[in-house]
Structure 1
Amino acid sequence: MTSKLMSLAAATFVGAWMAGCATTAITAPTAPTAAVTAPAPTIRPPPGVTWELAGAHDFEPNRPGLGSRQRYESAVGWVDVYHYGLGRNNWATGVSDPSFDAHFRSTINEVRQLAQSGQYTELKVGPTSDTRIGGLDFRTVSYRFRSQGRPLESRTFMTGLQGRLLKYRMNFPSPVEGDVDDIARDFIDKNLRSATGAIDASAPRSRPHRSQG
């Protein structure tokens, strides 16, 4: 009887020790969260998001320098893709052109002006950061606002490509089914390959950058 009790006690001690080890493994400190300028995370394409070209417009005949726009639509939102040069055909690839940041900030000011005019309400502008998609460095900013009473999540991504500027303006009615950033990155990655012919080696990797919009 004593032997059985000792065996039971030993088994209980071993079980408790193993449980303690398991608890320690679960609660061990994790690595710090990567900064926004770290290598881009793996894209997790949301299931069931199909984009279709809904229209296109060429601004050049009446407004030289403003290029063209293509609109893509899906069940989760719409994207306007702009190709333009503002009178230039030598914009540096990526985000390194000396005039790039000033122009990017002007696009943020355009959104703020829409809010001041009443077209957008409850506007919240997120921080500006750089990210890498499909071999290109992009500058990006996020917005939240209401348009005609409807809440929207919005993203702008911009880069230099083939001597011109490439801008994605993306809008998603809220709440969004899926992760907005995953949806945005997946669209851009596919568009770069199918519509622009860009490949992973199309741009050098930029140095880390972060600024406030």
Structure 2
Amino acid sequence: MISSLSNWYFSKRALPFWVILILDCLIVLGADFFVYALNNGTLHTLQHFNLLLGAFSFYLLFYIIGFRLFHTYSGIIRYSSFVDLQRTGFAMLTGLVLIMGMKYVFHSDRWLMEIRMRDIGLAALLATTLMWAMRVLVKFLYDSAFHQKQAKRVFIYGVKAGGVGLAKSIRNQDASAFILAGFVSDESDMTSRYLLGVRVYPNDENLVKEMKRLHA
């Protein structure tokens, strides 16, 4: 059942961009309430829940501006890369700076419930970490559950700059048709070592046998 759901999600593009945006917004709101409750007490948080929801929702608008500027919800999740993590970090930082400007320039604490900047900053850090974790997790699930079933396993001959560059290019491609299974090298000091997380195999009579075994 899990395999069927993952195949449906990854192959049919089940989640449109607005669902990703909503998930990120829910993560931000959840982090805001969690950090505020830790620093101010659960009872105090529940007593002022409506006021806090209004303040956090208003500040969420500034994070959404960051999401829009850096397109954190476009073309990600299924094929997330380090660039997507950068976009998320920059978007959250932009929103945090805008919130600081609103609080200190326009004195928003006068017409919103007062929330310390420390709480907002810690919540932003937690939300960013959770959004990164979500993207990394789904990327891992895609690579292990769906991508590896569709892509071909390949070996790269050479362990120097050219071979490593080709391996990185394969891994960085979205929906790549290939999976790096290993390196092949004539250098005796490199055999049986690991490069980019895969093994380096010697170019000898056992190479074909190893290739067949890994393809099985």
**TM-score of the two chains, using structure 2 as the length reference:** 0.25
**Structure number with larger C-alpha Rg:** 1
Q: Which has the higher helix share?
A: 2
**TM-score of the two chains, using structure 1 as the length reference:** 0.25
Which of the pair has the greater relative contact order for Cα pairs under 8 Å at 6+ separation?
A: 1
